[in-house]
Amino acid sequence: MSRIDAKFAALKAEGKKAFVAYVMAGDPDYDASLEVVRGLPAAGVDVIELGLPFTDPMADGPTIQLAGQRSLEAGMTLEKTLQMVRDFRADDDTTPIVLMGYYNPIYSRGVDRFLADAAEAGIDGLIVVDLPPEEDDELCIPAQKAGLNFIRLATPTTDDARLPKVLQNTSGFVYYVSITGITGAAAAEATDVAPEVARIKAATDLPVIVGFGIRTPQSAEAIASVADGCVVGSAIVAAQAEGKPAAEVLAFVKSLSDGAHRA
């Protein structure tokens, strides 16, 4: 059982919804980023999504694009991202970490080397947004063999014909993208999300977590109430971009996690 599986089993036993937080590794610099990442579990975060900075983040809106640029300009690399996970694991061996990003940096490193290094560092799962199910032999299946969950995105345009293919080799949880378009672009509405989550849950036993368009404790509560939990990314990254100290960023994260856990 992976850390992700164990976390969702524990939440289910407690009757709680999951709160997942996304932050960009290395934004605005390594030390400031690590301080926030280390503080996330105490702020109520159940699963950490750690963004791997990349020069061409096609699924992301301006907020996360700029975070990636700041990170890269500060010298962040794939190797330093793995080191950040190692540094986090020195004090926390239970909170699941999902690495979210794009295939190019992984391909450049070499899949086998990357998977060995990721598992050694303490990464539990991958979300690689530009690898469709048709390319599962490329990374998804090798990742699962290496003990990492491979988490797939389902979207409002994933129809009933496509859904089984999306779910086929997915593990850990299903990430439902609540809106069409890029991150941070629009607000998620529980009334729109609920029937889609129900449709996905009818096809899988995996938890369904909803992300994109969640910015407030109220929306976190509303979305988590119709799913197994929610993800907040752009709103947290935006708070960091304003130059707020880690304590203020983490207080905001705590307000969001409190909202999700009320659901």
Residue 186 pLDDT exceeds 80: no
Full domain range(s) for residue 106: 3-256
Q: Which of 5, 46, 49, 136 is catalytic?
A: 49
262 within a domain of the structure (yes/no): no
| Close Cβ partners of 21 (under 8 Å, ≥ 6 residues apart) | 40, 43, 45, 47, 48, 49, 231, 232, 233, 236, 253, 256, 257
Identify the band that residue 185 occupies on the pLDDT scale cut at 50, 70 and 90: low
Structural tokens at position 178: 């609540």
**For position 185, which CATH number holds?**
3.20.20.70
pLDDT at 184: 67
Query: Is 239 part of a structural domain of the chain?
Result: yes
49 is catalytic: yes
Active site residue 112: no
How high is the pLDDT of residue 187?
A: 79
Span 42-64, pLDDT tens digits: 999 999 999 999 999 988 889 99
Report the C-alpha gap between 263 and 259 in whole angstroms: 7
Q: Collapsing DSSP states into helix, strand and coil, what is residue 232?
A: strand
In a domain, 261, yes or no: no
Report how many domains make up the chain: 1
| Predicted TM-score (pTM) above 0.95 | yes
Does any domain span residue 172?
yes
Mean pLDDT, the chain, rounded, equals: 96
Task: Spot the catalytic one: 46, 60, 221, 228.
Answer: 60
DSSP conformational letter for 85: H
In the block, tokens 């629009």 appear at 186
- Is 263 within a domain? no
According to the model, what pLDDT value does residue 58 have?
Answer: 85
In a domain, 133, yes or no: yes
Angle formed at CA 107 by CA 86 and CA 180, multiple of 5 degrees: 90
**Residue 206 placed within a domain:** yes
Span 227-249, average pLDDT: 97
